[in-house]
Copies of this chain bind each other. A is one copy, B any other.
Amino acid sequence: MTRPEDLSCPLPLSDHDTVQLAHGAGGRLTGELIARHLLPRFGNPLLDRLEDQAVLEAPGGRLAMTTDTFVVSPLEFPGGDIGDLAVNGTVNDLAMGGARPLYLTVALVLEEGLPLAQLDRILDSMAAAARRAGVQVVAGDTKVVDRGHGDGLYVNTTGLGVVPDGLSLGADRLRPGDAVLLSGSVADHGMAVLATREELSFRATIRSDTAPLHELAAALLDACPPGAVRALRDPTRGGLAATLNEFAAAAGAGIAVEESAVPVHDDVRAACEILGIDPLAVANEGKLVAVVDAAAAGDALAALRAHPLGREAARIGEVTAEHPGLVTLRTPLGVERILEMPLGLQLPRIC
């Protein structure tokens, strides 16, 4: 034993204001990062064991599993940050399968030099979002990449939920005549991020809509007879245009949308017009698209509107036998045009 006199002396904790490469190397600094910054926010008996895996009691029935990495730039924007965005995004992907979200894993890629105070703000936001959604963080990982790489912070969240017995949702279940519902206004999230990133003058008024949709989805499913809700999806990257095109392609059916029925906030519409951006192709992080049996559409819409996250819900179109695989949009002037799948260049790095 080289230094027996030191054995009872706790090693001094290091004191850094920013992320160091050594925080990601698996040694003492990694342990400090976990103990000081992560466990105080996310701790629970499953996570606190700090084994390399969490062991969970299986809830029985079918499980839903989904993963998403968030690379949004900037990390903080009006209405949210990469932290609540990452929790809500994965909660929403579970909820769109009709699942009750239960468990999350959180994997961080930190850039050397990220201020720890900023990391703490974002972790607080993640923890609050997890509490709000009723999910436990059961496992995590932290890596650090060199300064100049990684944009401060990338966050992967992977979620596990339980799917109620008998529930089956999917784009392959769409039938001609079904109604297409949208839970609220589009393009708020993408335009809030873009406005912040580009320091545009209208950025003060536009806020991200990031929110957990599991309660809204559950309220909708509760309000409809079994089987009447065909499919749910949250129109994130690629916006409403991408979601509807995915639905049409998977169903082998057409989807006809009434453009004037799609809610767009005035400030968002004005910003889109100035920048030449189609709000239907801009990402949302707190909205859902539901395709429901037309006979249940009234009850479904009422259930959405009764929830705080669905107050502006609208019936925006229907599934058609015509034009299989295509989404058609009827403009306020009565002209029909194809709403194409966005090529993808419009707005990168918004989630």
Cα distance A326–B59 when bound, in Å? 39
Cα distance A239–B348 when bound, in Å? 38
Q: Which of A124-132, A258-266, A338-346 lines the interface with chain B?
A: A338-346
- Chain B residues within an 8 Å CB radius of A27: 237-238, 242, 281, 341-346
Given contacts A21-B348, A69-B109, contact A342 B28 (CB under 8 A): yes
- Chain B residues within an 8 Å CB radius of A31: 341
How many copies of this chain does one complex carry? 2
Does B69 lie within 8 Å of A141, measured CB to CB?
yes
Can you name the residue of chain B whose Cβ is closest to the Cβ of A171?
Answer: B51
As a 0/1 sequence over residues 158 to 173 of chain A, the CB contacts with chain B under 8 angstroms (1 = contact) are: 1111110000011110
As a 0/1 sequence over residues 47 to 73 of chain A, the CB contacts with chain B under 8 angstroms (1 = contact) are: 001111111111111111111111100
Does B93 lie within 8 Å of A52, measured CB to CB?
yes
As a 0/1 sequence over residues 320 to 347 of chain A, the CB contacts with chain B under 8 angstroms (1 = contact) are: 0001001010000001111001111111
Does A65 lie within 8 Å of B160, measured CB to CB?
yes
The A121-165 residues at the B interface (CB cut-off 8 A) are 138-141, 143-146, 148-151, 154, 156, 158-163
Does A3 lie within 8 Å of B338, measured CB to CB?
yes
Given contacts A27-B242, A30-B238, contact A250 B50 (CB under 8 A): yes
Cα distance A148–B69 when bound, in Å? 19
Categorize the interface residue count of chain A: 35 or more
The A14-50 residues at the B interface (CB cut-off 8 A) are 21-31, 49-50
Cα distance A106–B50 when bound, in Å? 23
Cα distance A69–B153 when bound, in Å? 13
Does B67 lie within 8 Å of A25, measured CB to CB?
no
Q: How far, in Å, is A321 (CB) from chain B's closest CB?
A: 14
Decide if the interface of chain A is mainly helix, strand, loop or mixed.
mixed
- Chain B residues within an 8 Å CB radius of A347: 25
- Chain B residues within an 8 Å CB radius of A250: 50
Can you name the residue of chain B whose Cβ is closest to the Cβ of A68?
Answer: B141
* A103 sits at the interface (CB 8 A): yes
Interface positions of A (Cβ within 8 A of B): 1-3, 7, 21-31, 49-71, 93-94, 96-97, 99, 103, 105-109, 138-141, 143-146, 148-151, 154, 156, 158-163, 169-172, 233-234, 236-239, 242, 246, 250, 281, 283, 323, 326, 328, 335-338, 341-349
Q: A70-B143, A156-B158 are in contact. List 16 more A-B contacts (CB 8 A).
A: A1-B338, A25-B348, A26-B237, A26-B238, A27-B281, A49-B170, A51-B169, A53-B99, A55-B62, A55-B63, A65-B105, A107-B156, A109-B109, A145-B349, A146-B348, A149-B150
